[in-house]
Amino acid sequence: MKVLIPALTLIPFCIPAVLGGHLPGPAYPAPEDISSDSSRVAASWKNVTATLDQTLKGGGLGKLASAMLKNTTFSMGMFSLHDQDASSLQYHHTAPSTLNGTYGTKSVDADSIYRVASISKLITTYAGMVKLHENDWNTPLTKIYPAFRDFVEKTAVDFDAARDIEWDKITVGDIAAHIGGIPRLGLPISGDLLLLSETNPAVLNTFGLPPVNRTEIMAQYPCLQTLDSGSIKCDIDDYVKGIASDLPRYQPGASPLYSDSGFFLLGGALANLTGMSMDDLYKKALFEPLSLKNTLSKPPSEPKDIKRTVIAGTVESALGEVPITTPSGGIYSTINDLSKIGISILNSTLMSIDKTNRWLKPVTFTGDLHYALGRPWEIYRYEYKDSGIVTDIYTKLGDSGSYTGLLVLVPDFEIGFSILGASNGTVHTQTIQFIADTLTNSLMPALVNQARQETLSNLAGTYKSNDKKLNNTLTVAVPSSSKSAPGLVITEWSHLAETLINWVPQLPPAKANPNLVRLVPTIQDIAGSGQIAFQMETVDPTGPIPGHLFTKMYSAGDWASTIDQLTYHDIPINEFVFNVDKKTGKAHSVTASAYNIELERQ
Ligand SMILES: *[C@@H]1O[C@H](CO)[C@@H](O)[C@H](O)[C@H]1NC(C)=O
Ligand SMILES: *[C@@H]1O[C@H](CO)[C@@H](O)[C@H](O)[C@H]1NC(C)=O
Ligand SMILES: *[C@@H]1O[C@H](CO)[C@@H](O)[C@H](O)[C@H]1NC(C)=O
Ligand SMILES: *[C@@H]1O[C@H](CO)[C@@H](O)[C@H](O)[C@H]1NC(C)=O
Ligand SMILES: *[C@@H]1O[C@H](CO)[C@@H](O)[C@H](O)[C@H]1NC(C)=O
Ligand SMILES: *[C@@H]1O[C@H](CO)[C@@H](O)[C@H](O)[C@H]1NC(C)=O
Ligand SMILES: *[C@@H]1O[C@H](CO)[C@@H](O)[C@H](O)[C@H]1NC(C)=O
Ligand SMILES: *[C@@H]1O[C@H](CO)[C@@H](O)[C@H](O)[C@H]1NC(C)=O
């Protein structure tokens, strides 16, 4: 017992004056019912699609939205790990005026093939996640591309950090997260003014740019020579020779900069590290294991595929191919196949759960509090206005030429959706982003409400010991107000609720306030053992105060302050493990871990 005393006396020193803040991650087990008539999520989906219907008819969201939707062909669909029928939540709109008319589909459905543009970057990285060894991601690019190695050797003598890219310091993992500090694009695959000036010499005057020595430029960029033949068919090694001596934009690892070039290089690196062509890698890592019948790393060429392909604008741009750019933007897919990809990520179908957990994390911040970046996840931090709870949304946008698409995962709720769209103008970009916002703003509250409702029926209630002598009762409830932070609240824990809350040092002694003590899920193994572990977190009723970053550090960071502070025999006093039916998700008992008692649900 003695050991406990010093440990306990330490607590006040490592716990702050005011406690609270939210743990990251889910507040409830993921909802099981996404699609039925009684699901709030389905209701939200139907509300959004009914609104889109009205908007297409000229009402709903207004005139501009109406014109945008009318001029865009798009398909969208949901998916859920727990409800296969979620994929019945789909919506399609065909804008005949945006299609080519001669070629491709005349009416879109869930198997219509779209260019997914930069969603390709996510698919490429996923293939790498599946097939690479963890250490491969730390491989410097000089180990893969001889031209980079030569450049680094050549510049070693009078190296200049502002002029020379340190290709030996940039890793495969860096470029997958856009933090190589390398240019966005290199000649000849860019809207470079030099290229524009070839057809329109006035461009140089417009910008006041000096002429260049064409002989030197042609010698530097071997791929430029292939441009003269009309299409860019050069290989990655020639592209690398060209960009090796481009200027750095940041130092390696310093700051995010969206780089398509990085993904051309990533494709070459994955081919090198796995010893497979990228086409084979996509097939072996993803397309075959997931039975993706309509996902292609080459433009559709079979008549049966072209018939289902969305061809906006010219056929040349819709079905054109610049092979080295495929890992960045050249993949074709459908919302049905993107759902399979999304589900496989959420379910860790192709890799271990710990790997998935690490992948679904930011690598770097951006300059905006609401956006972060992974490999190459574009992470949006959705904040519930009422409760202040944050749910991270993992996305990848694709936006190139006539096509825009989004793959969206919400790991906290184990659901996601995809939207693929096209137009022969430029309107598809805004349209798809607008639809995604409309959907997200409706879905996120619906998801938390559905999860709350299911938790109410599955977990809430009174639990008692069968052994009458023990006289132990635990009552947990689900807050009904959207202003309350979601989670389970302990309203009764024999005499212990008050003890528990008063054990949290320096919180003003008080009756157990259900809004202060809440339980959130930490480990869920419903399919396996049928258990869900919850930990207690305490919420600071005053919330964060601007200008108090240090003094509020503990308040805003339960992960560092209250969680796992009070233990008995190394077991957290605050841990409750619900034992649930694997099929229905309904709890039959709860184990208070440190007390070593199982209480039956009444
Ligand atoms: C969608 O929900 C909003 C908010 O509840 C409501 O105002 C609107 O009428 C609904 N729209 C449709 C088409 O059901
Ligand atoms: C929609 O297309 C029509 C016809 O092509 C065009 O006149 C109109 O400007 C477009 N509207 C938008 C918002 O793109
Ligand atoms: C998720 O994986 C488990 C096996 O780990 C499997 O039983 C289940 O069917 C999968 N769920 C989906 C939706 O694929
Ligand atoms: C262009 O560069 C080449 C190779 O460095 C050189 O021989 C040639 O004189 C230069 N031309 C002009 C016009 O400066
Ligand atoms: C990978 O690149 C290295 C260095 O350029 C080269 O020696 C090796 O043969 C390449 N491996 C494959 C499978 O292409
Ligand atoms: C369809 O594609 C063909 C071939 O690229 C092109 O000539 C034609 O103008 C396109 N039609 C429309 C309506 O964009
Ligand atoms: C798209 O194609 C339709 C049909 O060819 C045409 O009427 C419309 O003007 C085009 N829109 C744009 C923005 O090019
Ligand atoms: C059980 O505890 C409650 C208070 O928590 C008390 O009122 C009741 O008398 C106790 N019953 C027994 C059998 O000890």
Distance (angstroms) between ligand 2 centre and the Cα of 589 equals 60
Residue whose Cα lies nearest atom 7 of ligand 3: it is: 527
Amino acid (1-letter code) at residue 316: E
CB-ligand 1 contact for 57 (6 Å cutoff): no
Confidence band, pLDDT 50/70/90 cuts, at residue 482:
confident
Structural domain boundaries in the chain: 4-29+459-601
Angle at 63 between CA 42 and CA 417, to 5 degrees: 30
Say if residue 383's pLDDT is above 70.
yes
Instruction: Give me the mean pLDDT over the 530-539 stretch.
Output: 86
Considering the chain, what percentage of its residues have pLDDT values greater than 70? 90
Ligand sitting nearest the alpha carbon of 423: 7
Pair of tokens at residue 188: 């000849």
Q: Which residue has the tokens 């070593």?
A: 596
Instruction: Give me the mean pLDDT over the 390-395 stretch.
Output: 96
Instruction: Give me the mean pLDDT over the 215-237 stretch.
Output: 84
Question: How many Cβ atoms from other residues are within 10 Å of residue 347's Cβ?
Answer: 13
Instruction: Give me the mean pLDDT over the 268-291 stretch.
Output: 98
CB-ligand 2 contact for 65 (6 Å cutoff): no
Amino acid (1-letter code) at residue 252: P
Residue whose Cα lies nearest atom 13 of ligand 8: it is: 471
Measured from CB, residues less than 6 Å from any atom of ligand 8 are 471, 494-495
Pair of tokens at residue 429: 């970009």
Of 466, 467, 471, which is best to mutate to test ligand 8, by the most ligand atoms within 8 angstroms of its C-beta?
471
Confidence band, pLDDT 50/70/90 cuts, at residue 11:
very low
Residue whose Cα lies nearest atom 13 of ligand 7: it is: 425
Measured from CB, residues less than 6 Å from any atom of ligand 6 are 100-102, 313-316, 424
CB-ligand 1 contact for 51 (6 Å cutoff): yes
Distance (angstroms) between ligand 4 centre and the Cα of 218 equals 11
Residue whose Cα lies nearest atom 7 of ligand 7: it is: 97
Ligand sitting nearest the alpha carbon of 313: 6
Of 141, 143, 144, which is best to mutate to test ligand 5, by the most ligand atoms within 8 angstroms of its C-beta?
144
Angle at 387 between CA 384 and CA 393, to 5 degrees: 30
193 CB burial (10 A radius; 0-12, 13-18, 19+): middle
- Can you tell me which atom of ligand 8 is nearest the CA of 495? 5
- The dihedral through the CA atoms of 44, 33, 449, 418 has a sign that is negative
Alpha carbon distance, N-terminus to C-terminus of the chain: 35
Say if residue 7's pLDDT is above 80.
no
Calculate the alpha carbon distances from 592 to 28, 475, 517, 533 in Å.
18, 12, 15, 10
Peptide bond into 211 cis (omega under 30): no
Residue whose Cα lies nearest atom 3 of ligand 1: it is: 47
Rounded CA-CA distance 278/265 in Å is 12
CB-ligand 3 contact for 347 (6 Å cutoff): yes
What is the pLDDT at residue 355? Answer: 97
- Can you tell me which atom of ligand 1 is nearest the CA of 53? 13
Ligand sitting nearest the alpha carbon of 430: 2
Distance (angstroms) between ligand 8 centre and the Cα of 468 equals 10
Which DSSP state fits 82? S
Rounded CA-CA distance 9/162 in Å is 54
Confidence band, pLDDT 50/70/90 cuts, at residue 19:
very low
Instruction: Give me the mean pLDDT over the 468-493 stretch.
Output: 84
What is the pLDDT at residue 516? Answer: 60
Distance (angstroms) between ligand 1 centre and the Cα of 90 equals 18
Work out whether strand 415-422 and strand 73-80 pair parallel, antiparallel, or are unpaired. Answer: antiparallel
Confidence band, pLDDT 50/70/90 cuts, at residue 6:
very low
CB-ligand 1 contact for 50 (6 Å cutoff): yes
Ligand sitting nearest the alpha carbon of 72: 2
Instruction: Give me the mean pLDDT over the 50-70 stretch.
Output: 96
What is the pLDDT at residue 207? Answer: 95
DSSP letter string over 490-514?
EEEETBHHHHHHHHSTTSPP-S--T
Instruction: Give me the mean pLDDT over the 430-443 stretch.
Output: 98
Say if residue 13's pLDDT is above 50.
no
What is the pLDDT at residue 511? Answer: 52
- Can you tell me which atom of ligand 6 is nearest the CA of 315? 5
Beta-bridge mates of residue 523 = 533
Rounded CA-CA distance 348/344 in Å is 6
More confident residue, 18 or 370: 370
**Contact between residue 347 and residue 340 where contact means Cβ atoms under 8 Å apart:** no
Instruction: Give me the mean pLDDT over the 152-177 stretch.
Output: 97
Residue whose Cα lies nearest atom 11 of ligand 5: it is: 272
Instruction: Give me the mean pLDDT over the 502-511 stretch.
Output: 49
Confidence band, pLDDT 50/70/90 cuts, at residue 537:
confident
